Every structure is written in C-alpha cells, then in structure tokens.
Structure 1
C-alpha cells in the first residue's frame, strides 16, 4: 500500500488529507445529527406538560434552550408567545434558520472535498503523463516496460481521487437529506406548539 501511495507522487498527500477530513466530517455529522439528539421525541410533550401544569418559567426555558437544537427553537418561540401568534412564528423561524445552519456545519467542506478530489487525481495523472513523455523524449519508445510503468503510476492519483470523491458525494447527499428531514420535523412540531398555545388562549378569552 505504501509503495502505491509513494508511486502516486506528491499529489497523493492532499488526496489522503482530503480522505481523512471527509471521514472525520462524516462520522462527526452522523453522530451529531442523530434524531434523538437533535429532536428528542419526548421534548414537545414535556413542554406541553409544563404549560398545562403552569410550570413553565425562565429556568425551564433556559433548560429547554440548552437541551437540543429543537429545544432551542421551542424556547425561542415560547419566549415570544405572549406577543402573539405571528411574533411566535417569526421567532421560531429565526431560531429554525440558526438550527439549520448548525446542522449544515462542515457539509460545505465535505461537498468541496467531493468536488476537488477527482480534480487533484486528474492533475496528478497529467503531471505523471508529462513525466512519461519526457522519458519518451530521452529514451525513445523502445522500452515499453518503462512507458507502461510510468502510465500506471500516472493513473494511480486518478484512482485515488475517485476513491475519495465517490463516497464523499454519497455521504454529502445523505447528510443534506437528513438535515432537510430534521428541519421539516422541527417545523411541523413547532407549528403544533404555536397552534396549541394560541388556540387555547383564544378559547379562554371566549
């Protein structure tokens, strides 16, 4: 393996670095974007129970804000709930945008790696082919072994770049999809809370 990497030339180093960074991002994002961590199932019922039992205070809201990204969104909405339905929706929207930004962290880097890895591989191949043609100029075309070996080495970087890029593209798309799904779920649950609070408030006024 080391000999293959060595024969690929200097451009194997940035390709290997890209692979390490991509792997770290994939593992970190999958760990961070667990549904149980971003949007715990019991969080919305718990908030509604606090409201029903008149236990919702600044300490509870602070605890909620720090518990998860979904809790952060709910806390923003609850703080603005006394100002009316639209103010609560606006606060939830703003907090939701922040939560989405947090969930998308590092995904642009992963997308960049997916885009540049094959280009690095192609550049390595081009440079390798330059060396091959230099050898042809010096030694002629008689020594086919040297030419075949040179071409083989030149193609190693392309293979390495594609090996990094293909999984990076797959996982980038999967993670973007997961962020979209979590965002939709949080929006739906937040809308339920808005309707529940203000529908109950309207019923009490009657």
Structure 2
C-alpha cells in the first residue's frame, strides 16, 4: 500500500519467481535427474540383451537420464554415428526440459530493478506534482512521495537479487547434470558399438591359429 500501485507488478513477479523456484527445486533433484546406479544397470541390460519395448518405455519415462539412454537403446542395432546422432538429438530435448521456466526466472531478475525504478519515478512525479499544487510548506507530502519511491526501489531489488542468484544456480546445476549424462551416454555408446567386436575376437584368433596347426 505504501509503495503505490507500482508495487502490484513487483508482487506478481515475486509470486511467479517463488513458484518457479519451488518447482525447479523439486524437478531438478539429483536422484530425479540422475538416479543412482541407472547407467550401470542399463549397460548390464544392454550386455545381456534384456530389452523390450515396454522396458524402454518405462526407462524413458523414469528420468531425463533414462530418456537419453532409452533413445540410444532404441537404435542399438545401427552404426555408431547414427546412435550418437540420436543421443545428441534427444539430449537437446532433455536439456530444454530441464531448463524450463529458467528464462522466465531470468526475465524477472532483469525487470525487477526496472519495475522498482518505474515505481521510483512515479513516486517522484507525484511528489513534485503535490509540491507544484501546494508549495513546499508541507513536508509530509514530500516525505510520502519519497517513501513511495524508496519502497518500490527496495522491493524491486528484493525480488531481482534472489531471482538472479537462483537463475544462475539452476543453470549451473543443469550444466553439471549435462556433463554427467553425457558421460553415461558415452559409456553406453561404447557398450553398444564396441562390445560386439570384442565378443568376436576369440573366433578370429581361432581361425588364425588353425592354419598353423596344420
């Protein structure tokens, strides 16, 4: 009330920012994005051939890492380049989902001080209009305009500073998750493309020894 009507958009931004922060804190939990032991378990499944469409669907819907690994397993019979391309395509979608609402949070961090400045300007204009109408004989009128201006400025900064810090924090967390997911996807890619030739080496060795034995 003391800050005037310019406080309304600042309050709306604060509520939106709070909702985004709570939602991202829940969605970007480590165990929800990178379930412990999932990469090793999936590589064991791939090595044992324990894969079916229902299994892959459950894996894809379980977590962002599971979605990335399931995309690689869906084309496991193809060349390494094709599997890698599928992983990269799916990775872009996964990262986009993890960064959902972060642009909005960054926008709030940007416009918070501007809204505070807007309220400051409105307060100063009101103060000068009152001075023009009644002169400077009533200090209470000037104090009211200055107080309104300062309240809007402080409120805008109070919303913008935490929003900016949390925006950077969530972006950093997503970047760290991307590195871990890339590591797990590369390990699975090696399992799918390099495991088969390794299994064939004993047969090539036996074929090479046979002529010498004769």
Task: Tell me if both proteins adopt one fold, taking TM over 0.5 as the criterion.
Answer: yes
Taking the aligned partners of 1:58 and 1:50, their CA distance within structure 2 comes to: 13
Q: Contact 1:81 / 1:87 at 8 angstroms: preserved in 2? A: no
Aligned to 1:3: none
Taking the aligned partners of 1:98 and 1:54, their CA distance within structure 2 comes to: 27
2:106 to 103, 111, 121: 111
Q: Contact 2:47 / 2:191 at 8 angstroms: preserved in 1? A: no
1:71 to 60, 66, 74: 66
1:39 to 34, 38, 52: 34
> Which segment is superposed worse, 50-59 or 119-128?
50-59
**Alignment RMSD:** 1.1
Taking the aligned partners of 1:33 and 1:105, their CA distance within structure 2 comes to: 11
1:145 to 133, 140, 149: 140
CA offsets per residue over residues 46-84 of structure 1, 9 Å max, x none?
A: 112222332112221111111111111001111112111
1:51-130 residue pairs with structure 2 within 5 A? 51-130=46-125
Aligned to 2:208: none
Shift of 1:99: 0.3
| Match status 1:181 vs 2:172 | no
Aligned to 2:2: 7
Taking the aligned partners of 1:51 and 1:184, their CA distance within structure 2 comes to: 22
Aligned to 1:24: 19
Taking the aligned partners of 1:124 and 1:33, their CA distance within structure 2 comes to: 35
Number of matched pairs: 201
Secondary structure of the structure 2 residue equivalent to 1:152: helix
What runs of 5+ residues in structure 2 fail to find an aligned partner?
202-214
Runs of 4+ that moved beyond 3 A: none
TM-score normalised by length of structure 1? 0.94
What runs of 5+ residues in structure 1 fail to find an aligned partner?
1-5
Secondary structure of the structure 1 residue equivalent to 2:75: helix
Taking the aligned partners of 1:201 and 1:34, their CA distance within structure 2 comes to: 35
> Which segment is superposed worse, 121-130 or 39-48?
39-48
1:158 to 148, 153, 158: 153
Shift of 1:143: 2.1
Secondary structure of the structure 1 residue equivalent to 2:49: coil
Taking the aligned partners of 1:73 and 1:51, their CA distance within structure 2 comes to: 14
